[in-house]
Every structure is written in C-alpha cells, then in structure tokens.
Amino acid sequence: MVQMGRGACLRAAAGAMALLLPADAMAQAAPAATLNGANTAWVLTATALVLFMTLPGLALFYGGLVRAKNVLSVLMHCFAIACLASVLWLAVAYSLAFGQGGSMNAWIGGLGKAFLAGVGTASLTTGDIPEDVFFMFQMTFAIITPALIVGAYPERMRFAPVLLISGLWLLLVYAPVCHWVWGGGWLAGMGVLDFAGGLVVHATAGVSAIVIAKLLGSRQGFPNELRPPHSPSMTMIGAAMLWVGWYGFNAGSALAANGNAGMAMIVTHTSAAAASLTWMTIEWIKFGKPSLIGIVTGMVAGLATITPASGFVGPAGGLVYGVVAGAACYWAVSYVKHSLKIDDSLDVFAVHGVGGILGILMVSAFADPSLGGLGLAKDMTMGKQFGVQLVGTVATVAWSVVVTFIIVKAVNAVVPLRATGEAETDGLDLSEHGERGYNY
C-alpha cells in the first residue's frame, strides 16, 4: 500500500486521504494536525521553485524556439497568464478544485473557499502545513498548466483570445480535473495515482494544445518553410531553469521534508537525464549530429513523464521512465507534425500530453514493489491499478478535448483568434504589443 507521504492523497486539502482509508477510519486514526515548521519551509521553497519554472524558465524555453520577431509575444503570454491565473485561483478556482462541493463533490468543489474565505494562517491541511501555504503551492501549478498551452499559440494567435481562452480553460478544464484527482473527487475515490500532475497538468495541457492548434490552423510556411528556432541558447537556459524548478514540482508534492521528497527528486533527475540521452542518441543516429534543441526537449519529455510517478517508483523505475519518454516523445513529435500535419508549434501534445499519459499508465507496473516501486493504492493489483489509471486517462482526455473545443469556438465567436496575414508577416511583437524583442 502506498504510504501516506508518497501519494497525491497528501496534495488535497480535504478528502483525498480517502484514496487510502475510508472516511470513518481516517477520522478515528488521524490525530489533530500540528504545524511542522520544516515541512512548511520546504513547501514554501518548492512553491518558489515551481513559479521559477514558468517565470522565467518556460518563458525562455518557449521564447528561444520561435522566430526573433515573435519572441516578445511568447514572453508576454507566459507573464500575463501567470498574473491572470493567480487572480482567478484566489477568486474561485482554488475553491472549485479543493473546496467541498456537497452533493456534487465527486465532480467539483463548492465556493466555500472563494477568496480564501475561512482560510487563515492557523488553518492546516490534512497534512501539517498551513492551508495558505498549500494554496500558494497549488497556485503555481495552476499558473504553469495553462502556460504550457502557450506552445500551441506562437506566431499566429492574437493576445486577447490568449487571455480569454486561458482564463476559461483554468476554470472549466483544470479546476474540475484537479478536484477529481487531488480534491477528493471521483478519481481519487477510485484510487487513481497521480503524484504531481500526469493527468491534472500534462494530459490536460497537452490534449488541449493539440485541439487549439488544429482549430487555429498552421503557421505560415508550415511544415516545410519554417525557420529554425532563433535562439537555441535561450531555450537551453530556460530548460535548465525548468529542470531545477521541477524539483519543487515533484519533490514538493510530498508536502514534507522527508525521504518521500528525496526519492521523488532522485527519480525526477534520473528520468530527465536518461530521456535527454535517449533523444540525443536517436537524433545523432538519424541525422549524424546531436542538437542542443533535441537534448533539452528530451529532458522536458523525461520530466513530464516521470511527474505522475515520482512519488511511487524507485530509481530503476525512474531510469526506465526516462528511456521510454525519450523514445516515445521523439516519435510523437514527428507523427504529429508530419503524419497528422498539425502545427502544435512547440510540441506541447507530443512532449507533455504523450509523456504525461505514458507516465500515468506506467505507474500501474512500476509502482509495484516487485519492480522496485513503493506500492500501489490500497487493495490494488497491477491489473486493477492499470484499469483505474486508464479510466482516469480516458476521462481526462475526453473532458479536455470537449471543453477546450467549446471554449475555443465560443471565444472565436466573440474575438477572432487568428492574427491577420500582414501581422503574422511583420511578427506579433509589433502587431500585438508595439514592441520588439530585439532592437537591431
């Protein structure tokens, strides 16, 4: 059985402990929580690390991958989404994700914690950290998830619809799925294992990104006449920041300064390194030269894939996860662009979507102690756990596809998504923001 410090159960402010124990047993077994200063300090640190992933990590990673005339627009997207998501998380999204929803609690939380009503500095989560600290930690996840979808927008989407889609998506896709998995919803009740966001973050963002890219249409010149990334060095710097920040993402999800966090950090690092080398090797064999863009993209694939399993698998599992991630996501990038001919510009689906889904499904095997894992959910076998993971994946993908499609169509009916051809030729930096990323 998964130890309490090793699962998504600790991430939920209320109710997710039901993953391991029935409510009446939990009430009898759990003593009143007392504040743990070390754990609180670690989660505060992890919160800063996860925000560092978006600002500046993801912004620089994405910014380097586009043409110079669009770099400022990508940076603007990441920064503005961070601000918007923060306000929405405080106003209502946190309550929808982690509040109690009464008769609808299996599907969505209520509004009892809107604007942090009733949440003071003395209130604790089901762990031993203050709920306001938990709120901030979870806010950084709510920031980076819609920001990941920015990879589907570059060089052709206007700024106003970026904000509208991001805000609606956070409320209608992210918050419900977050509640299902981490907030005591129906997937938590089934025993789904998602330690740090394979479903909640990567599957939702990746699947939504490919839907948006398909509806938005391709960039000018796609796929044969696109120019290469304008600054691989900027992308590498952003990738390095993502790697460091991901320690907060995964190890911070233990919500404690203990061995659970340490193991999550080990497997996170191992998967990233193995996926980087795998991607580099494939590229080297195929093209004769290993590229910087390739090795850092492999790193992100390894990180995304290990995320849902980081609290459940051992070091050998982390190594296998990395090799599988590097190979599978490399293939997915080519398949999406050349077979499906969808311009998911910065490979959000191929890297985050495919990686997150793979990671979720592989948990059912590699969390088992016989394969060096740390334990499945209560009363689960490999087969039963796989069934639960599959149900969670299908439900998350279906919800993300349908709701994202509706959001995009609704926003496009109000504000046109696509920039004009002239604006795309001039670059969105000037046409949307009146500034340049570089003054030559």
Query: pLDDT by residue (tens digit) across 96-108?
Result: 999 998 899 999 9
Tokens 């109710």 correspond to 15
- What is the spatial distance between Cα 425 and Cα 397, in angstroms, rounded to a whole number? 34
Tokens 């998501």 correspond to 85
Give pLDDT, residue 11. Answer: 43
Q: 12 near 182, Cβ under 8 Å? A: yes
Give pLDDT, residue 282. Answer: 98
Give pLDDT, residue 29. Answer: 38
Domains of the chain, each with CATH number or no CATH? 4-12+38-418 (1.10.3430.10)
Give pLDDT, residue 119. Answer: 85
Q: 100 near 109, Cβ under 8 Å? A: yes
Q: 96 near 109, Cβ under 8 Å? A: yes
Query: pLDDT by residue (tens digit) across 128-145?
Result: 999 999 999 999 999 999
Residues of the chain falling short of pLDDT 70: 1-33, 121-123, 125-126
- What is the spatial distance between Cα 141 and Cα 379, in angstroms, rounded to a whole number? 30
Q: What angle do CA 222, 225, 228 make, to 5 degrees?
A: 95
CB environment 50-86: b (16+ within 10 A), e (fewer):
bbbbbbbbbbbbbbbbbbbbbbbbbbbbbebbbebbb
CB environment 187-220: b (16+ within 10 A), e (fewer):
bbebbbbbbbbbbbbbbbbbbbbbbbbbebebbe
